[in-house]
Amino acid sequence: MNYTLKIENDYSQLITEDSALKTKLWQTLRIRPKNYFHNPAYQKKVWDGYVDFFKLNTGKFLTGLLPDIKNYLDALKIECAIMDSRTKPIWNQDGIDKHFLNTKTKKIELYDYQVASVNHIIKWGRGIVQLPTAAGKTNILISALKLIPPKTPVLFITKNKGLVNQNYKNMIEWGIPNVGRWYDKYKELNYIMCCTAHKDTFKSLEKLLPLFKAVFVDEVHGCMSKLCEKLYPKLTNAVVRIGISATPFKFDGKDKEHKYKVKGHFGPVFKTGEDNQVITTSKLQDRGMLSKSSGIFYNIYVPTTIKHEPYLDAVTMGIAENLEFLNIVKRLAGTLSGRTLILVERKAQGEFLKQLIPHAQWIQGKDKLSVREEVFESLRSDTNAVAIATRHIISDGIDVFIHNLINASGGQAEHSVVQQMGRGLRKAGDKVALKYFDFVFKTNDYLEDHSENRIKMLTKEKHDIVVKDIDF
């Protein structure tokens, strides 16, 4: 029987009359989404609750899953003819060493895992750079951009304008030529386009999408909305497709639909650590590249009346509008020295805390980029800054140099926990270690389970965690 793999930039196809093999692949790559049973289509029995990443009738699949398909075929000792219509990426050189970014004004020596990541990008053209927060992913991006021939159309995407602006500034600082921004008021048409993952941005760029030869997506885990899923296949000539994130797969990979979508559009995770493994936070802490850390979870016992409340009501009464808890956060912040960041879940919670801590700065989603940047800068350089921020605008990618992080927002998603902790792991000259503070909400079954999940995740990341009653 004949087998052919037809490979293109966005979708590929297994061409064969072996229906049994296609059925096996279809069954293997059928994924039930997280919480599929809540979907009205499933409840009405018009959908079976599965998402197919290999199409049974056509044999089509997202090209990023090609390694999975090949591994499956190799295990069955099936040989395939290859029809690869992709153009090969053109790079300025075949590889780099640790001195690649050295200039007269910048003396940069790349770490071994950074060199390995860039060389993987050169070799494979698509995949995921997974490194801990503050591990220097920017230097990997800059290196990759320097390796692309001048005037090659490149699309850079990330989840919000703060991160776009931060990366744009980095590119300009490093002398990357022909860089433009494309979001909100910025419509700077250029060869390298930095844009937000927003419907208005994508709509205005739609006609240009087939022109891009490379796409880099920072914080890729947050750029997998249905809108993004519709965009990526329109990048029909983007032979280079790189996703970047400390946590590329949501819920520590337990959300299999999300995981296979990320892999499908970008490819597998590059292994750049020792023994061909992914680099971990604890490894970089041991090497002195990230700040040491310690964490304390304080038990919260009030209010006593919400034990069996549904989750959203429990968040409101037990966290966001729990005045006794907010006063505990205020007292805790008052015991700390250095730069302190307090994360909140909701606007009302932040406004309550701002009243309790008048000298603190307070930023939320509606604030302009210039306002946010002023606060971020104080968290990089002021001696004793205190800032309150909704967690969704600062959890991913924003560079700050804080001594203390207070998570007053609760939450349970593993990727969010790792990203939040990462805001404090950047080293600074006036900093010995990060002090992380969180809470075990004994007041409600949902909140307590989520607290325990945060402890479990941070312990897995090998942070030192202590649970205790309030002693201040």
pLDDT of residue 254: 87
* Mean pLDDT for the stretch of residues 186-190: 95
pLDDT category, 227, cuts 50, 70, 90? very high
* Mean pLDDT for the stretch of residues 304-329: 96
pLDDT category, 325, cuts 50, 70, 90? very high
* Mean pLDDT for the stretch of residues 105-110: 87
pLDDT category, 82, cuts 50, 70, 90? very high
pLDDT tops 90 at residue 184: no
Q: What is the pLDDT of residues 252-280, one digit of tens each?
A: 888 999 999 999 999 999 988 777 788 88
Q: What is the pLDDT of residues 370-398, one digit of tens each?
A: 899 899 999 999 999 999 999 888 765 57
Which has more pLDDT, 359 or 366? 359
pLDDT of residue 253: 84
pLDDT tops 70 at residue 419: yes
* Mean pLDDT for the stretch of residues 145-168: 94
Q: What is the pLDDT of residues 333-351, one digit of tens each?
A: 999 999 999 999 999 999 9
pLDDT tops 80 at residue 45: yes
* Mean pLDDT for the stretch of residues 426-431: 90
pLDDT category, 104, cuts 50, 70, 90? confident
* Mean pLDDT for the stretch of residues 98-106: 88
* Mean pLDDT for the stretch of residues 204-230: 95
Give the lowest-confidence range in 63-72, 154-163, 336-345: 154-163
Which has more pLDDT, 298 or 422? 298
* Mean pLDDT for the stretch of residues 431-435: 94
pLDDT category, 197, cuts 50, 70, 90? very high
> Structure pTM?
0.90
3-state secondary structure the chain: CCEEEEECCCEEEEEECCHHHHHHHHHHCEECCCCHHHCHHHHCCCCCCCEECCCCCCCEEEHHHHHHHHHHHHHCCCCCEEEECCCCCCCCCCCCCCCCCCCCCCCCCCCHHHHHHHHHHHHHCEEEEECCCCCCHHHHHHHHHHHCCCCCCEEEEECCHHHHHHHHHHHHHCCCCCEEEEECCEECCCCEEEEECCHHHHHHHHHHHHHCCEEEEECHHHCCCHHHHHHHHHCCCCCEEEEEECCCCHHHHCCHHHHHHHHHHHCCECCCCHHHCCCCHHHHHHCCCCCEEEEEEEEECCCCCCCCCCHHHHHHHHHHCCHHHHHHHHHHHHCCCCCEEEEECCHHHHHHHHHHCCCCEEECCCCCHHHHHHHHHHHHHCCCCEEEEEHHHCCCCCCCCCCEEEECCCCCCHHHHHHHHHCCCCCCCCCCEEEEEEEEECCCHHHHHHHHHHHHHHHHCCCEEEEECCCC
pLDDT tops 80 at residue 118: yes
Task: Give the count of alpha carbons within 13 A of 82, CB side only.
Answer: 8
pLDDT tops 90 at residue 309: yes
Chain mean pLDDT for the chain: 93
pLDDT of residue 466: 97
pLDDT tops 80 at residue 226: yes
What is the share, in percent, of the chain residues with pLDDT greater than 90? 82
